[in-house]
């Protein structure tokens, strides 16, 4: 994460801050913070207070849903316990002992931000809300969130239950790598049929209906529902963004979101520095065989249109000896932008190399082989020789 934070600072210094070149003006009272990142690289394009601590409410359900999709059987029915029934806030009015498909609970938690569904998921996956909270906190550390702490699975108000816009963007970036979450995040509405309540649950993310490119992820209301947290995924042409807005005024939030996405789309382009498995260096083994070093993965960087990329790379290669497998690490490469480190990755061999034998080696091995055969022959002959009485 230290590298990622450094890269973000670098990009703002190198490509100028968003406020310096006409990004949309957002009234301070209309939200607490926002961040728009390029999903592929994780680089920040636009932000306001991205590392400011904010309380998590319904947005908690994103990671709860992700863990359910990763660890649970979505086709299995979940028996509802007594605790989800008691949960307050947005609900689908679960009843104790009723059985609901885990996939339906995930959809209710993600699309409708249902707190009782999230609690039911937590108890099903981990046995209790407290045990599931440990899962949540382990997962955010794994993702790379440095400023997020969960104290419950469904967004109950708690001063210790906190995150930042940037950490939410990292969580959303991680979530959109899960095929089921991607599928559910696109749902505009679905029929809920529970034991005590039946309804058409509508996704609060109204841009799904009207804005091309929006593919999810969540619009989670707060308190009296006049404010909400928006976590958007946007994919259109070569643009692939995550936008997070925290504690935004509901009547203005979606307009602001559209403005930020449009501004980023019009002012940034994605430049590919290297493709995956692209030859990037020619090297020799210690015995003089020439091989190609390949990039481990692709690297792209979003930059402001019209700005020239000052990119370079530096290699740190190993002594290359046989035997060598195709895809073995033979060194590292560091990419720089504006003279500062952007990304570090392995350099891989493009071919397999077997051990090479010289004539001397072959002679030694042949002599050793013959000597071994002679020893085996004499041993067997001695065993066959009849013993004297």
- The tokens describing 202, both together, are 């509508």
Residues of the chain with pLDDT under 70: 1-22, 356-362, 365, 384-389
Using the structure block, give the residue that is written with the tokens 């004539």. 359
Give whole-number Cα distances, 210 to 109, 188, 237, 252, 263, in Å: 23, 11, 17, 16, 18
Give the span between the Cα atoms of 133 and 301, in whole angstroms.
35
Domains assigned to the chain: 2-268 (3.40.710.10), 275-349 (2.60.410.10)
Element holding 208 (H helix, E strand): helix 207-210
pLDDT of residue 357: 59
Using the structure block, give the residue that is written with the tokens 């996939």. 103
Task: Give the max Cα distance, the chain.
Answer: 111
Residues in the chain: 389
Q: What is the pLDDT of residues 192-209, one digit of tens each?
A: 999 999 999 999 899 998
pLDDT of residue 12: 45
Q: What is the pLDDT of residues 29-71, one digit of tens each?
A: 999 999 999 998 888 999 999 999 999 999 999 999 999 999 9
3-state helix, strand, coil in the chain (%, to 5): 35, 30, 35
pLDDT of residue 2: 47
pTM recorded for the entire structure: 0.79
Element holding 266 (H helix, E strand): helix 250-267
Q: Are 92 and 80 in contact (CB under 8 A)?
A: no
Give the span between the Cα atoms of 28 and 18, in whole angstroms.
16
What ranges make up the beta strands (E) of the chain? Answer: 33-38, 44-48, 54-55, 77-79, 99-101, 162-163, 189-193, 198-202, 214-222, 227-236, 239-249, 268-274, 279-284, 290-295, 299-304, 311-317, 329-337, 340-349
- The tokens describing 29, both together, are 């009272």
């Amino acid at each position: 994460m230290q590298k990622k934070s450094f890269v973000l600072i670098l990009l703002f210094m190198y490509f100028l801050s968003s406020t310096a070149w006409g990004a949309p003006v957002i009234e301070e009272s209309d939200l607490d913070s926002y961040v728009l990142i390029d999903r592929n690289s994780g680089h920040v394009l636009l932000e306001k207070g991205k590392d400011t601590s904010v309380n998590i409410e319904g947005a908690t359900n994103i990671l709860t849903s992700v863990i359910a999709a990763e660890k649970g059987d979505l086709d299995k029915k979940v028996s509802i316990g007594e605790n989800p029934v008691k949960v307050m806030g947005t609900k689908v009015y679960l009843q104790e002992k009723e059985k609901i498909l885990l996939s339906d609970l995930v959809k209710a938690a993600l699309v409708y931000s249902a707190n009782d569904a999230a609690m039911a998921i937590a108890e099903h996956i981990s046995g209790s809300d407290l045990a599931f909270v440990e899962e949540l906190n382990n997962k955010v550390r794994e993702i790379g969130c440095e400023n997020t702490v969960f104290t419950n699975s469904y967004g109950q108000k708690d001063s210790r239950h906190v995150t930042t816009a940037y950490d939410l963007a990292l969580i959303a970036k991680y979530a959109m790598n899960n095929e089921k979450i991607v599928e559910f995040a696109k749902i505009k509405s679905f029929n809920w049929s529970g034991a005590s309540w039946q309804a058409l649950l509508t996704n609060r993310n109204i841009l799904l209906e009207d804005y091309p490119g929006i593919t999810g992820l969540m619009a989670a209301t707060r308190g009296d529902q006049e404010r909400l947290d928006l976590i958007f995924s946007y994919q259109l042409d070569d643009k692939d963004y995550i936008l997070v807005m925290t504690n935004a005024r509901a009547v203005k939030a979606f307009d602001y979101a559209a403005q930020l996405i449009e501004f980023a789309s019009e002012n940034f382009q994605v430049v590919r520095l290297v493709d995956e498995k692209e030859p990037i260096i020619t090297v020799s083994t210690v015995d003089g065989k020439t091989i190609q070093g390949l990039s481990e993965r692709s690297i792209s960087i979003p930059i402001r249109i019209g700005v020239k990329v000052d990119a370079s790379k530096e290699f740190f290669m190993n002594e290359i000896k046989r035997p060598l497998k195709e895809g073995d690490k033979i060194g590292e490469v560091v990419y720089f932008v504006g003279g500062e480190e952007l990304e570090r990755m392995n350099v891989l061999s493009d071919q397999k190399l077997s051990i090479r034998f010289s004539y001397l080696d072959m002679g030694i091995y042949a002599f050793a082989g013959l000597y071994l055969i002679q020893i085996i022959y004499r041993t067997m002959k001695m065993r066959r020789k009849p013993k004297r009485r």
